[in-house]
Amino acid sequence: MNELVPSDEMRPGDDFLVVLQEVAARFGADATRPRELPALAELARLVDNHAPLDAIAATFRRLAFDGYLRGAMTTVAESMLASPRGELGLLLARELVDAIDPPLGLALARAALTLPAVVNKRHEIGSVYARLHLLVADTLMERGDLAQARRYFEAVLALDIDHSQAAHEYQNYLRRLEARGVETRHQSRGLALLDGLDEVELERNLAGGRYELGRPLGRGRHAVVYEAFDRHVGRHVALKRLLGTKGPRGRASLRVIEQRFFAEARTLAKVRSPYVVALLDAQPQHHFVALDLCRGGNLRSALRRGQVDGASLTRVADQLHRALNAVHAAGAVHRDVKPANILVRDTQPESPIALADFGLALDPNPGRVDVAGTLRYLAPEVRRGEAPSPASDHFGAGVVLLEIALCPEPLPAAFDLLDATGDDLTTALPRTLSPASRRMITGLLDPDPSQRKWS
């Protein structure tokens, strides 16, 4: 995005509202809305009522983990337009700079620093003022803009010379200069030559320059997806790169994430279907895989823009059925069948779908299984703690097809209840459904997995 620069007529903090509007516009079109998901409505209520930051952040993280990051970001951004909060600006800025849209995150963090409530806390130890400065400095470091980064590190140290994180990061900054042959006692010399070196190094790491990195397409909890160009074969691909952040339990958690990331590649390598995203390349040493590029976004965004609707139900059902047959024939269970994990190959009407995101996929007999996935798409037996199976994937497909049948109306609230019964989940079938479609969805949502079937 272009740099958002406040005009002379703007009051302090007004530029923060400008960037918030940009965040809402950028991500709102494809985002789930509060009226469609009770958890998002709860997030909006917490922000509107100025709930403690911990409560808001915890709800935000749960939504992001369940695949509703865009909805959570849009909800917080729109709610803050009436009452800006620097701490929430920091929350959104961190998500943005973590690969979703770093320039927009940088603009938001910088704009948050103009809020009077943030400026008034500049002398408080560990305040949002210091944390925003550190986020901006770290982001600028990642972009290779070391001259600008220095200013933000020093702004914190000028107020708190003992600030351990700022001092540590500032030392990293000096070491990076020295490693590149820059005299740190004269830090202004030659800094322009350092701009963009991080991007060059990233390109070199992408299999020896085979891939030309393009725009980011999306981000999950542990990975970011870019559009990229494969120079070897002359085609555009989706490049999914594992983020380098550690999990909440440190190195052990990070190892588990890496194992799951490349287990996804091994699963995809075994699946053969035009309705499943194909694995094109895997580079464990560089922490990325290359996949089919689907330009139509995911099924949720296709439903929003009207590319997929009730008239598409039979076609999508047939393709999703074929995709799951291929997955199960390969000896895997997807575990997370939902609109966000079903891609549309192109933006044209009636473009085929492709099942994606096998990060939770597993062998049907894995031993101990943790409950994972998104609640509203989980089969009743999985909600009770039983092992996922092909039948539980069929249940998730049934929920997806019900969403298509109901569109633009949201799923009933019962799907978000942990103890919902089979009757709760099948009473929402539209009366306009054909008998065949009604039988199919009812069969897929059968509470008994042994009776669950496509028909």
Provide the phi-psi class of 234: left if phi over 0, else alpha when psi is between -120 and 50, else beta. left
Are 183 and 238 found together in one domain? no
CATH code at position 392: 1.10.510.10
> Which of 429, 400, 411, 404 has its CA nearest to residue 306?
404
**Looking at the structure, do residues 256 and 313 belong to the same domain, yes or no?**
no
Say whether both 32 and 104 belong to one domain: yes
Reported as a single tens digit per residue, the pLDDT across 248-269 is 444 546 677 777 778 778 888 8
Q: Does residue 198 form part of some domain?
A: no
- In this structure, the answer to whether residues 239 and 185 fall within a common structural domain is no
Query: Do residues 62 and 153 share a domain?
Result: yes
Q: CA–CA separation, 422 vs 416, rounded Å?
A: 13
Same domain, 98 and 118: yes
Domain assignment of residue 200, yes or no: no
Q: What is the DSSP letter of 370?
A: -
Same domain (yes/no): 367, 310: yes
175-179, 208-212, 225-229: segment of lowest average pLDDT: 175-179
Looking at the structure, do residues 246 and 274 belong to the same domain, yes or no? yes
Predicted local confidence at residue 165, as pLDDT:
64
- Domain final residue, candidates 291, 313, 328: 291
Phi and psi torsions of 217, nearest 5°: -100, -25
Q: Are residues 157 and 20 in the same domain?
A: yes
| pLDDT of 223 over the 50 cut | yes
Beta strands in 206-324 (DSSP E): 211-219, 223-230, 235-242, 279-283, 288-291
| More confident: 166 or 280 | 280
Structural domain count, the chain:
3
Range of the domain at 166: 14-193
Whether 78 and 30 map to the same domain: the answer is yes
169 and 286 fall within a common domain: no
Q: What band does 365 get if pLDDT is binned at 50, 70 and 90?
A: very low
Q: At what angle do helices 86-95 and 14-28 cross, to 10 degrees?
A: 40
- For residue 120, the domain's CATH number is 1.25.40
Name which of 35, 34, 18 is nearest 73 in CA terms. 34
Note whether 310 and 212 are same-domain residues.
no
Last residue in a domain, options 291, 326, 346: 291
Active site amino acids:
336
| Residue with the larger pLDDT of the pair 66 and 334 | 334
| pLDDT at residue number 5 | 41
Q: Is residue 223 part of a domain?
A: yes
CA 146 – CA 168 distance, rounded (Å): 15
186 pLDDT band (50/70/90 cuts)? very low
Return the pLDDT at 423. Answer: 60
What's the whole-number mean pLDDT along residues 84-102?
87
Q: What is the pLDDT, as a whole number, of residue 327? A: 94
Tokens of 365: 């007999």
Is residue 9 in some structural domain? no
Look at residue 4 and tell me if it is in a domain: no
CATH number reported for the structural domain that contains residue 221 in this entry: 3.30.200.20
